[in-house]
Structure 1
Amino acid sequence: MDLRLFRVASTDESDPVPQNLKISPDERAAFLATQQSLKMARSAHAFVRGSTVSFYEWLETGRVTDIPTGPAIWICGDCHLGNLGPLANAKGKVDIQIRDLDQTVIGNPAHDLIRLSLSLASAARGSDLPGVTTARMLEEMIRGYGLALREPGPDDLVPEPSVVRSVRRRALGRRWDHLARERIQDISPAIPLGQKFWALADEERQAIAALFKEPEIKRLVLTLNARADTSKIEVVDAAYWMKGCSSLGKLRYAVLVEVIDSRQKTYALIDIKEAVEAAAPPHPSADMPAHYGARVVAGARALSPNLGNRMLAANLMGHPVIIRELMPQDLKLEVDQFSRTQAVEAARYLAYVVGRAHARQMDKAVRAEWSNELERRHPADLNAPNWLWSSVVSLAAKHEEGYLEHCRRYALEAV
């Protein structure tokens, strides 16, 4: 396969990979590297989302030195706009929570605020909004986050903006057939190979079959949707899954499982994802699981219970992995264009969601101390806290430079 030709020809987000594509296990690494470059070159916002490692490198070497040090709690570590959205719990109740915890560590909660601020600022620039809107967004972020620290109980203290409300409504109306048609393009019990799903090597197929014979995995599948404990589960099909951006190049599998009880047969779609070392810096005294997958599960259960309680850590062919069942209600927030009002409302609400995830790990005294620290660093005559504004300005410049260099390298390689 000539990957150079594919790099030039495939630039449309709606159809990034030819439908009849066949990728052998030996070809995956080169192809996935190409795909990651393509995705990150599509826009500056896409580059921000896909450059977590660079984010922390630039944050450490930047000129911002007054970032507050918050309590040592589990943080997302990659808290950008696309990593929040509706998530269903084991009983199907839907809440807006953090939906990707690959980078989670016990660290500084200020890092989540900076990462989310940069993501929202990038989305605002992509929507051609003026800089004053970005300043208002950061101001409202601190306001929404502060409300969560003061009162972590009610989930409606900050009203949902329209861009979030529409996604939640769509999530509430989704069932298995929606998930099946979206993910595997059919509701029949098979995973179609081609655009997103590729054939497995014999070793992979055997390892996945063995994994699903383990009692813990069976319990995970039967926990959801009130399935009977006496049900049997059987792997119907499995495939390598080309999905995401930051996960490209790592092991990723989709597994279709049949659940059989005395009344009926149902199906579950299981996501197996390789867990790797986090780029986010941990707190010096952090006591976290050494197993990368166990670290992700622990962080997810602290930050996003709806997701964390549906996950398990395991090993597959010597690699640490995270296993979870996909639910039809799980969606990401995809915002192509913000209006000024939407941008400000979204900033306040999403910071409130992150604040609730942080606050549930703190007692009242710690919440008050962290809230006071944020207030102390928030001069009344500024539209946004100086440390947050300076961080976003510095990082936005670094990411813009990095994005243009990425595109230049990509273009030169494609010729």
Structure 2
Amino acid sequence: MTTSWPYALPTTADQIEAGRSARRRLPRQALAELVAAATDPVDVLTAQDATRIAELVPVRYERMLVSPFTFYRGAAALMAADLGQAPHTGLTVQLCGDAHLSNFGLFASPERRLVFDLNDFDETHPGPFEWDVKRLAASFELAGRENGLDAGTRRRITTRVGHFYRTSMGRFAAATATEVWYAHLEMSTRLLERIALQPGKRDLAQARKVTEKAKRRDSRQAVRKLIRIVDGHAEWIADPPFLVPLADLARHQDQETLLHGMAELLESYADTVTPEIRRLLRQYRLVGMARRVVGVGSVGTSAWVVLLVGAEEDDFLVLQAKEATTSVLAPFVPGHEFSHEGRRVVEGQRLMQAYGDILLGWKTAAVSGYPRDYYVRQFRDWKGSFEPAELNADQLETYADACSWTLARAHARSGDRVAIAAYLGRNTRFDDAMADYATAYADKTENDYARVRAAADEGRLPARTG
């Protein structure tokens, strides 16, 4: 006896036909074309400022205007508008939404192994798979320009993004669903050697240094760097505007209100984690909080670091509560509605990552004046990253392999991997299209950067200096 529980699944032949049909509608070489939205980058960015903490908006532009690459990191809304104008494959996955090369990094698995994965999901949203690949490829083109690499070398790297994504998706299409689900990229010595690339001990030692630094980044390390003990009480070390303790942010009465709001957030957020993690959280109590500036594109959103202490006074747990706003992709992918933006972020992250933060959850709270959607996670849990400016051309190429494999794995978990593999095919048309698009979009980014910098120089944007 057979049943269709829980779903009537499409056959492999149907999935392959879906991919080939998408290719007929939109040939792979057509993905190279940049269709830019008729928008002013200044208008798009200032529209985002309206809901942000006003005193932090200048910090946002300070960080964005360091270079075209940092501008690109903070301008996901501009690229979303451009992607939304162009024809797309219709092959939907859970997108990261901001899959540039700096949004990949190192994390601890629940088994305390160091793994490589995506690390930013503020913009996660269902959408066409190629949008993430385009954003990743363009980020490598911009990073290559910033590192002074010639055009031929940059193209070799950006072509590699398309190639490794395509071939990895082909392998995932041939794997079982459970094999895809268990797939992950562990930071083994072999991978370290590949990222270091050079056989000399010095390069391998440098790569190992990154992983050892990541393993030291936990709540205890955060406490040592951000908190001092005065008369037996923990106090945040002020570094305005980047870290502002609650005592410096509000009057005494407001402090109580903010602390109460955070306590309510943590209490209700606990309902969104698993029962065993809920039990873990109940072994800690809230003792303090501070507002913290995070990222590049996220600067100005409400973000808090929260200190919890267990029964022993040296048992610390530091959480981050970060505001979740509507994804920049939402206006361009109709038909998807989310009742809670924090939940959108959390569920997108859980779907795309091989191993997620066990303390990840969400809730709405009026911590910063009015109710906002938040997601909560560990502030640091073996988190680390490779700095693009410190990687040479060969290292960037290997790093592109790791990012592209990881992105393909994330998409294979949430989308029709067989249909996507059928669309991508076995020749290099997709690889070449990604490289062509990366060059065109990097040119546009440099132009947008110049326009926004000019607006800042003219005083039309509140860019902080120094």
TM-score between the two structures when normalised by the length of structure 1: 0.80
Counterpart CA distance in 2 for 1:400 and 1:218 is 42
Greater Cα offset, 117-126 or 309-318: 309-318
* Cα displacement (A) at 1:242: 1.7
* 1:171 correspondence with 2:214: yes
Equivalent residue for 2:400, pick from 331, 347, 361: 347
Residue type of the alignment partner of 1:36 = R
Residue type of the alignment partner of 1:162 = I
* 1:180 correspondence with 2:204: no
* Cα displacement (A) at 1:75: 1.1
CA-to-aligned-CA distance 1:283-335 (integer Å, 9 cap, x gap)? 85755532111111110000125335431110111111111122340123322
* 1:411 correspondence with 2:462: no
Residue type of the alignment partner of 2:80 = Y
Counterpart CA distance in 2 for 1:58 and 1:258 is 46
* Cα displacement (A) at 1:268: 0.7
Residue type of the alignment partner of 1:37 = Y
SS of residue in 1 equivalent to 2:356: helix
Unaligned runs of 5+ in 1: 1-27
Q: CA 1:341/1:218 → structure 2, altered by over 3 Å: closer, same or farther?
A: closer
Q: Point out the structure with max Rg over C-alpha.
A: 2
* 1:290 correspondence with 2:339: yes
SS of residue in 2 equivalent to 1:232: coil
Counterpart CA distance in 2 for 1:218 and 1:359 is 26
Counterpart CA distance in 2 for 1:300 and 1:145 is 19
Residue type of the alignment partner of 1:411 = D
Greater Cα offset, 389-398 or 145-154: 145-154
Q: How many residue pairs were aligned? A: 371
Task: Considering fraction of residues, name the structure with more helix.
Answer: 2
For residues 254-273 of structure 1, the aligned pairs below 5 Å read 254-260=305-311, 265-273=314-322
SS of residue in 2 equivalent to 1:240: strand
Counterpart CA distance in 2 for 1:407 and 1:215 is 40
Greater Cα offset, 172-181 or 205-214: 172-181
* 1:325 correspondence with 2:378: yes
Counterpart CA distance in 2 for 1:360 and 1:303 is 7
Percent identity over paired residues: 21
Counterpart CA distance in 2 for 1:78 and 1:218 is 25
Q: CA 1:388/1:131 → structure 2, altered by over 3 Å: closer, same or farther?
A: same
TM-score between the two structures when normalised by the length of structure 2: 0.71
* 1:210 correspondence with 2:210: no
Q: Which residue of 1 aligns with 2:18?
A: none
Q: Does the 8 A contact of 1:90 with 1:306 survive in 2?
A: yes
What root-mean-square deviation, in Å, do the aligned CA atoms of Structure 1 and Structure 2 show? Answer: 3.1
Q: Which residue of 2 aligns with 1:13?
A: none
Greater Cα offset, 198-207 or 210-219: 210-219
Q: Which residue of 1 aligns with 2:421?
A: 371
Residue type of the alignment partner of 1:357 = A
Counterpart CA distance in 2 for 1:292 and 1:175 is 27
Q: Which residue of 2 aligns with 1:32?
A: 56
Counterpart CA distance in 2 for 1:268 and 1:281 is 34
Residue type of the alignment partner of 2:82 = W
Counterpart CA distance in 1 for 2:359 and 2:150 is 41
SS of residue in 1 equivalent to 2:285: strand
Q: Does the 8 A contact of 1:141 with 1:349 survive in 2?
A: no
Q: Does the 8 A contact of 1:251 with 1:274 survive in 2?
A: yes
Greater Cα offset, 157-166 or 244-253: 157-166
Residue type of the alignment partner of 2:286 = V
Q: Does the 8 A contact of 1:59 with 1:395 survive in 2?
A: no
* Cα displacement (A) at 1:408: 1.5
For residues 73-222 of structure 1, the aligned pairs below 5 Å read 73-149=93-169, 150-151=171-172, 152=180, 154-155=183-184, 159=191, 161-162=194-195, 166-182=209-225, 184=226, 186=228, 189-195=234-240, 196-198=242-244, 199=246, 200-201=249-250, 202=254, 203-214=257-268, 216=270
Q: Does the 8 A contact of 2:158 with 2:438 survive in 1?
A: no
